[in-house]
């Protein structure tokens, strides 16, 4: 069944999809600075997608008693609308049942799951696997509480401050009748699903909250690949969440949510290879092509503040002794090195220079790369090479063939003839 579902998306990186829990709406979050700040902090450095579940806030009202299966499908509708291939699913309280259903439906699209304040079941009067009699009476009992008061009670029981719980519940109530949503909550039960939820999971059970004591430990024990965190406060909770997301980013790649798994892996490997560049060797001569090579090396090495080693080789003929000497050849080399240093300094990066006297430029470049433990050599084809300006020199060909590290050859911008 298609329906209009309201969501917001912000940030870039690994996507975190968060269906909002019972009593909470996007509009309500705007009225509670503490809760809005917390959910914004979860998405810091990542792409956060939060949405009103069916029957709440600005999402479509319930036309009939919907199911957890429908709510799981709704999550993937949101992912598709936002262009998300794979995501970390984040659920607080009853939203934990939504993300579990979604994960069971499309496990290949799940990078991870975060269960925060989620009981293994609701309609079970067992504090370790369900809820207490006190909570059952508050949420589902026959007392003449309004839907807003029941939502407010539920939010306070999982640790929200009274003022925040009241503001959220008022905004939530304005969407219309919620009897069906409460009936759905009564039937929430993760236990049949947990054996098939194989994605890595983080289960959060905050300390010092008697109403939920035991929920996290019980749920973590049921999941095949779960880690239990018991933070003492909001700071520790955010730390656990960001640590979990960082591991997924490291393992899956920063683009894992926007690309198919096989493409994401390839892009991630390429990104890792580039960011692993710690020392880049740049052979320079007194020409525009050398300036271009130094500039390119800086752009490749700037994110990780790589060290740029500038090298100029003075080729000494066999007719002369192999020794350092003065003269025009040395002056040209020093000029080229000084120019390279100025380019690197403009990028705020570190550089060192090496002026060598060798029988061949190739031997000198390869020796420097070996002695420096270079991760990359960057060279640029001169602008005036003829007859084919794109043709590599003999030195470049030999460096490309013999170097033990990566070699990047830039042919530059060529005018069309």
pLDDT in tens, 246-290: 999 888 888 889 876 655 555 555 555 555 688 999 999 877 888
Instruction: For residue range 150-206, list pLDDT tens digits in order.
Output: 888 888 888 888 888 888 888 887 766 555 667 788 888 999 999 999 999 999 998
Of the candidates 241, 205, 208, which has an alpha carbon nearest to the alpha carbon of residue 221? 205
Residue 99 in this model has a pLDDT that exceeds 60: yes
Q: Is 353 helix (H, G, I), strand (E, B) or coil?
A: strand
At 191 the pLDDT is 92
Q: What is the mean pLDDT of residues 376-388?
A: 73
Angle formed at CA 312 by CA 307 and CA 313, multiple of 5 degrees: 135
* CATH class for the domain made up of 276-410: alpha beta
Q: How far apart are CA 245 and CA 206, in angstroms?
A: 19
Residue 82's pLDDT band (boundaries 50, 70, 90)?
A: very high
Share of the chain above pLDDT 70, in %: 88
Q: Which residues pair with 409 in a beta bridge?
A: 379
Q: How far apart are CA 78 and CA 95, in angstroms?
A: 14
Contact (Cβ atoms closer than 8 angstroms) between residue 4 and residue 62: no
Which residues 6+ apart lie within 8 Å of 84 measured at CB?
15, 17, 47, 49, 257, 258
- 269, with CB counted inside 10 A (0-12, 13-18, 19+), is exposed
Higher pLDDT, 321 or 230: 230
Contact (Cβ atoms closer than 8 angstroms) between residue 281 and residue 365: yes
Residue 62 in this model has a pLDDT that exceeds 70: no
Q: What is the mean pLDDT of residues 348-367?
A: 92
One-character DSSP codes across 194-224: GGG--S-EEEE--SS-GGGTTHHHHHHHHST
pTM: 0.65
Asked if CATH classification 3.40.50.1820 holds for the domain at 7-267, the reply, yes or no, is: yes
The structure tokens 């080789």 sit at 313
Q: How far apart are CA 373 and CA 405, in angstroms?
A: 9
Instruction: For residue range 10-58, list pLDDT tens digits in order.
Output: 998 999 999 998 888 998 888 887 888 888 888 888 999 999 998 888 8
Residue 245's pLDDT band (boundaries 50, 70, 90)?
A: very high
Domain residue ranges of the chain, discontinuous segments joined by +: 7-267, 276-410
Residue 6 in this model has a pLDDT that exceeds 80: yes
Average pLDDT, the chain: 84
Q: How far apart are CA 175 and CA 58, in angstroms?
A: 7
At 387 the pLDDT is 46
Share of the chain above pLDDT 90, in %: 41
Residue 1 in this model has a pLDDT that exceeds 60: no
Q: What is the mean pLDDT of residues 355-370?
A: 92
Contact (Cβ atoms closer than 8 angstroms) between residue 401 and residue 366: no
- Residue 119: which H helix or E strand, with range? none
Do 7-267 and 276-410 come out as alike in CATH topology?
yes
Residue 3's pLDDT band (boundaries 50, 70, 90)?
A: low
Which residues 6+ apart lie within 8 Å of 414 measured at CB?
389, 390
Q: Which two tokens stand for residue 325?
A: 């000497």
Residue 88 in this model has a pLDDT that exceeds 90: yes
One-character DSSP codes across 120-134: SBSSS--TTTS--HH
Contact (Cβ atoms closer than 8 angstroms) between residue 278 and residue 304: yes
Which DSSP state fits 189? B
């Amino acid at each position: 069944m298609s329906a209009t579902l309201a969501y917001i998306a912000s940030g870039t990186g690994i996507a975190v999809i968060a269906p909002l829990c019972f009593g909470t709406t996007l509009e309500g979050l705007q009225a509670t600075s503490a809760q809005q700040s917390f959910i914004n902090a979860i998405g810091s450095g990542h792409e956060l997608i939060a949405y009103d579940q069916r029957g709440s806030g600005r999402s479509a009202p319930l036309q009939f008693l919907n199911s957890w299966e429908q709510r799981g499908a709704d999550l993937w509708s949101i992912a598709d609308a936002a262009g998300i291939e794979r995501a970390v699913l984040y659920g607080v309280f009853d939203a934990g049942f939504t993300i579990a259903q979604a994960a069971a439906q499309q496990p290949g699209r799940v990078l991870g799951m975060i269960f925060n304040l989620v009981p293994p079941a609701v309609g079970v009067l067992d504090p370790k696997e369900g809820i207490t009699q006190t909570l059952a009476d508050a949420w589902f009992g026959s007392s003449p509480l309004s839907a807003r008061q029941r939502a407010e009670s539920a939010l306070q029981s999982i640790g929200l401050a009274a003022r925040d719980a009241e503001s959220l519940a008022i905004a939530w109530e304005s969407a219309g009748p919620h009897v069906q949503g409460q009936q759905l909550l009564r039937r929430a039960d993760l236990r049949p699903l947990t054996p098939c939820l194989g994605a890595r999971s983080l289960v959060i059970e905050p300390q010092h909250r008697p109403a939920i004591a035991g929920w996290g430990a019980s749920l973590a024990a049921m999941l095949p690949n779960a880690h239990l965190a018991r933070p003492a406060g909001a700071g520790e909770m955010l730390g656990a969440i960001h640590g979990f997301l960082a591991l997924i980013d490291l393992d899956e790649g920063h683009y894992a949510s926007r690309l198919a798994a096989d493409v994401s892996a390839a892009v991630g490997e390429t990104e890792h290879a580039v960011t692993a560049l710690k020392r880049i060797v740049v052979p320079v001569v007194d020409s525009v092509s050398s300036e271009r090579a130094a500039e390119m090396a800086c752009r490749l090495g700037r994110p990780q503040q790589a060290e740029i080693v500038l090298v100029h080789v003075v080729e000494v003929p066999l007719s002369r002794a192999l020794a350092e000497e003065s003269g025009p050849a040395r002056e040209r080399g020093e000029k080229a090195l000084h120019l390279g240093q100025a380019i690197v300094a403009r990028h705020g990066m570190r550089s060192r220079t090496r002026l060598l006297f060798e029988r061949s430029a190739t031997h000198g470049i390869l020796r420097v790369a070996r002695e420096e433990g270079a991760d990359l050599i960057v060279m640029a084809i001169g602008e005036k090479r003829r007859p084919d300006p794109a043709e590599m020199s003999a030195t470049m060909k030999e460096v490309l063939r013999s170097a033990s590290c990566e070699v990047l050859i830039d042919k530059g911008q060529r005018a069309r003839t």
